[in-house]
Amino acid sequence: MKFDTPATTNPIDQLKIIGHATSRIDGPLKTTGKATYAYEWHDVGSRPAYGYIVGSAIAKGRIASIDLSRAKAAPGVMAIVTAENAGKLGKGNYNTAKLLGGPEIDHYHQAVAVVVAETFEQARAAAQLVQVSYSAAKGSFDLAAGRDGAAKPPGRGDNQPDTNVGDFPGAFAAAPVQLDATYTTPDQAHAMMEPHASMAAWDGDKLTLWTSNQMIAWTTGDVAKTLGLPKENVRLISPFIGGGFGGKLFLRSDAVLAALGARAANRPVKVAMQRPLMFNNTTHRPATIQRIRIGANRDGKITAIGHESWSGNLPEGRPETAVQQTRLLYAGENRMTALRLAMLDLPEGNAMRAPGEAPGMMALEIAMDEMAERLNLDPVEFRARNDTQVDPEHPGRPFSRRQLVACMKTGAERFGWSARNAEPGKRREGRWLVGMGMAAAFRNNLLMKSGARVRLDRSGTVTVETDMTDIGTGSYTIIAQTAAEMMGLPLEKVVVRLGDSSFPVSAGSGGQFGANNSTSGVYAACVKLREAVAQKLGFNSADVAFSDGQVSSGNRSVPLGQAASDSELIAEDSIEYGDLAKTHQQSTFGAHFVELGVDVATAEIRVRRMLAVCAAGRVLNPKTARSQVIGAMTMGVGAALMEELAVDKRTGFFVNHDLAGYEVPVHADIPHQDTIFLDETDPMSSPMKAKGIGELGLCGVAAALANAIYNATGIRVRDYPITLDKLLHRMPDA
């Protein structure tokens, strides 16, 4: 189905089921332990063996030799796979580093072997007996040191590393009010609850992989390319995923080594990547250095805005696109953005929740706060004065919907922003210095082709099949709501089957594009099914209603299941968007407000209140949408105050590579969180009139916290995370 014009009316607009707060239909399975995750499959023909990964002990260099003799002789060992005996391996479209290292080593903890044994304990014990000798080489591990040598990365289509509009240098030099500041964000880890895990089984030359992966079609293709198989010989199954945050968008070594181990052992093999290996073996959010320059007239109108960002990655890697929101968020006639990429021998940098905008907003929204102060303007007012309803780099392309100002003003009223003292350090409650901060929220809305298959049986039950995944976001539920609304059924008459490469290809889960696109694909398939039902029952498809399990037209009403009385009715279709992304800018907007206290003696920070206001199209399920936003807000607290992968710049690895050393927020760190969804539909976004929301709730949170800390203490911190050592020596007298 082509969707290249605004939707007007459609069955979704009935809002009998869509738009209502609905508990997750997969909840009972998960709370009772019946949901099967990648490492938990057992019914695969023969009893699975277990694989244990050996990671490289150097960050750069070569393997000089591997001695497997002691490991092979260990109890229960069935096979050991290394680059020497794995056969020729290709490289997928989405992998920067090889997933099985040797003899060259690309990064620390790159997989160099997998030991397969009868039990997990035997595999783990034998893996300790693998003796690897290395020839280490000098590597580059320091972004700051590599900044001067960073190069302009290649662009892809319309996504270019540099943009220029007008005369930025001249306009900035002439601006009466200026800001020129540098901000840094650290390397961060996904740290999801479920580790990267896979189980592989071969049937001749056909491979089935039960794996924890967000993008089934991408990964099926990359498995085939890596192993040299026809794509049709690879089946991926991933119905439940225990969190991903972008870390499971791509094929990783657990899946490849499970497949290689299963082939070598002639048995199904399970591989769960051990937690201390994940942080250096898999992808992470790369650190950035960001320089922001803003020039404005004294009335608060921006005349020049420039944003440059430096990040690092392995050869063939891509930069962290931290300037992309600056291209769209605020008006200003003279503009410049630039990305530079340093070659580093650290683990691969790649997508993590809201790649680009999340670290970019961490810097931009502090800069906007600093400019507001220099202009003696309220931070909300300064942002509102620089609102725009068109893409400021392409003025002929309007935003499909843009309610940034409404988000900020609604949030300011609800949060009690007018009570904020604009002068820092003036509100004190006993030992606590109290401050408020805010930031805009922004994340682009991506339109992607997405498909589904729907089946109607004689009982009137509709089954939806799509390779869409649920990473804890509620995909099962909103897809069921969509099919129920379209076919006039209660939720209990809809069955949803996800995460199988034998199903039609969907958008997948990532980039907050999953909900809008996958449900639109289900919508398209249901339109075809409605037409098939009408034809089977002798109705005019243009004049038929589906409601309460009945199909009606005029005075005639027939049970829906009667259309499948002879045989099951099946319909399949995909949603495609034509040139909509070129004619209209698709983005989501919001505002974050924070109140916190800082202990005057210890600089301990305690978050007291948080509010997010979001404008992101139609909210398909307010209950699961709120969960997504408060989870993102929590992640923003971690980004602001705690999260940092500490780099050993001598030997090239993340030192704190487990959940004991990598700090994330816990319940005691998080206060009550409020969310407001503006009443908005976006008819340009899809037939669902929805957009994404899962990443919008993160973008801007860290900056709101940084701005609140400044308001509380008068200390401006431009380097994340904002830890006690960055405040203590500058705190006001107790």
Cβ neighbors of 376 (< 8 A, separation 6 or more) are none
Buried b (16+ CB within 10 A) or exposed e, 671-685: eebbbbbbebbbebb
695 counts as catalytic = yes
Which burial class, exposed, middle or buried, applies to 89 when counting CB atoms under 10 A from its CB (0-12, 13-18, 19+)?
A: middle
- Please give the helix or strand (H or E) that residue 687 lies within, else none: none
Q: Which residues pair with 113 in a beta bridge?
A: 54, 82
Residue at token pair 């580059």: 140
- The whole-angstrom separation of Cα 229 and Cα 231 is 6
Edge-to-edge strands, sheet with 302-313: 163-165, 334-343, 302-313, 288-296, 177-185
- The whole-angstrom separation of Cα 722 and Cα 644 is 10
Edge-to-edge strands, sheet with 605-615: 428-429, 432-444, 587-599, 605-615, 672-677
- The whole-angstrom separation of Cα 638 and Cα 722 is 10
Cβ neighbors of 122 (< 8 A, separation 6 or more) are 50, 74, 75, 76, 77
Classify the phi-psi angles of 174: left when phi > 0, otherwise alpha if psi is within -120 to 50, otherwise beta. alpha
Buried b (16+ CB within 10 A) or exposed e, 447-474: bbebbbbbbbebebbbbbbbbbbbbbbb
**Spatial contact of 105 and 60, defined as CB atoms under 8 Å apart:** yes
Q: For residue 699, which phi and psi values (nearest 5 degrees)?
A: -65, 115
From residue 24, how far is each of 20, 145, 393, 623, 624 by CA, in Å? 12, 48, 41, 9, 8
Residues, the chain, total?
734
CA angle 305, 306, 311 (to 5 degrees): 150
- The whole-angstrom separation of Cα 483 and Cα 500 is 19
- The whole-angstrom separation of Cα 460 and Cα 564 is 8
Tokens of 168: 């930025």
Q: Which residues pair with 305 in a beta bridge?
A: 294, 335
- Pairing mode, strands 77-82 and 61-67: unpaired
- The whole-angstrom separation of Cα 595 and Cα 420 is 10
**Spatial contact of 84 and 102, defined as CB atoms under 8 Å apart:** yes
**Spatial contact of 236 and 216, defined as CB atoms under 8 Å apart:** yes
Positive/negative CA dihedral, 482, 485, 491, 495: negative
Where does 65-156 have alpha helices with state H?
Answer: 69-72, 120-127, 143-146
Catalytic residue among 308, 373, 644, 695, which? 695
Cβ neighbors of 21 (< 8 A, separation 6 or more) are 621, 622, 623
**Spatial contact of 551 and 561, defined as CB atoms under 8 Å apart:** no
- Please give the helix or strand (H or E) that residue 579 lies within, else none: none
Catalytically active residues, by annotation? 695
